[in-house]
Amino acid sequence: MRILVAGGAGFIGSHYVRTLAAGGYPGFEAAEVTVLDKLTYAGDRANLTGVACTFVHGDICDARLLAEVVPGHRIVLNFAAETHVDRSIADGGDFVRTNVAGTHTLMRACLDAHVERLVQVSTDEVYGSIETGSWREDAPLAPNSPYAAAKAGGDLIARAYARTHGLDVVITRCCNNYGPHQFPEKVIPLFVTNLLDREQVPLYGDGGNVRGWVHVDDHCRGIQLALEKGRSGEIYHIGGDVELTNVELTKLLLDACGADWASVRNVEDRKGHDRRYSLDDGLLRGMGYAPRTPFRDGLAATVRWYAENRTWWEALK
């Protein structure tokens, strides 16, 4: 079985590849893995050190390259995306290019190559903000940032290829991820690395924005379950075990790093900052999914990883 992982040198994609190559997904131990990654600022070959895979340096927007790389793979997973909201607010062009046009180019290549199944990895941010309750998979899309809008556009392209062309596509949407190898512009590694260097951390607005959190390993297990058991054309939510305000998260990170509130610097709120995200992941849980990593345990392990792997993140910062 040959599996192509687009964006496999990034944070989530590389964790999936490392687990897959190590035999972490029963029944897939013999899979031959190809990683396709553009190696932008957030993609790093070092994330795949020692991993048995074929690496292709390239862009999912490159139709000619995909026509060469995709054929022969039974399964394709698309982790490739521009993901940082602040960057999308500053300039959304790359987000539209990669997350919408790139997804379309990949879908076309998979259709032409008769790929048996494609997993489109997405985000809870496509739904916008929710005051109470949790989104189900049939909730309307109402993205508020250029990043979220671009991801929603890619999801709709994927859905269209499933409905129009019969391409076997499954879409997953997840809450906020954390864990080792996450690029240090994201909130948890940013705060941890700043605090390890005894620098202040920035807290947006009043810090009351609420996010769900899931360890990257649990997210990838949810993706694998959707890959193996999901119905074609369907969407599956992947949740964690906790929802926290940014203030609550900041307090936990301060404690974990031995710092106090004097290390916090309040900054102007992000433009269009969604107040709360929350996913109902009952559909996937009914298929056997459950997060295994309690948030406090996973957070402590993540802090230790960044403390012990300065050479990985210092160059990136």
In a domain, 287, yes or no: no
Mean per-residue pLDDT for 277-290?
A: 98
Is position 248 within any domain?
Answer: yes
Q: Residue 118 is inside which H or E element, if any?
A: strand 117-123
Token pair in block for residue 82 = 């521009």
C-alpha to C-alpha distance for 277 and 264, rounded to whole angstroms? 24
- Interval 195-238: pLDDT, tens: 999 999 999 999 999 999 999 999 999 999 999 999 999 999 99
Q: Which two tokens stand for residue 78?
A: 């698309």
Q: Are residues 153 and 207 in the same domain?
A: no
Asked if the model's pLDDT at residue 310 lies above 90, the reply is yes
Q: For the chain, how many structural domains are there in total?
A: 2
Verify that 47 and 193 share a domain, yes or no.
Answer: no
Same domain for 149 and 135 = yes
Query: Parallel, antiparallel, or unpaired: how do β-strands 75-78 and 117-123 relate?
Result: parallel
- Enter the tokens of residue 294: 């309690």
- Rounded percentage of the chain residues whose pLDDT exceeds 90: 96
> What single-letter DSSP state applies at residue 121?
E
Range in 24-33, 80-89, 126-135 the model is least confident about = 80-89
Q: Residues 248, 229: one domain?
A: no
Query: Who has greater pLDDT, 84 or 140?
Result: 140
Domain span holding position 252 = 184-211+242-276+293-314
Answer yes or no: do 141 and 223 share one domain: yes
Whether 189 and 89 map to the same domain: the answer is no
- Confidence at 51, pLDDT banded by 50, 70, 90: very high
Per the model's pLDDT, the better-predicted residue between 156 and 269 turns out to be: 156
Catalytic residues: 124-125, 147
164 belongs to a structural domain: yes
Residues 229 and 248 in one domain: no
**Per-residue confidence band for 317, with pLDDT thresholds at 50, 70 and 90:** confident
Closest CA to 176 of 152, 151, 211: 211
Question: What does the pLDDT look like over 69-114, one tens digit per residue?
Answer: 999 999 999 999 998 898 999 999 999 999 999 999 999 999 999 9
Helix (H, G, I), strand (E, B) or coil at 70: coil
222 in Cβ contact with 174 (< 8 Å): yes
Q: What is the mean pLDDT of residues 145-152?
A: 96
* CATH, residue 301: 3.90.25.10
User: Do 126 and 266 belong together in one domain?
Assistant: no
Q: Which residues are CB-neighbours of 143 under 8 A, at least 6 positions away? A: 125, 126, 127, 128, 149, 151, 152
Structure tokens at 69: 């790389």
pLDDT > 90? residue 286: yes
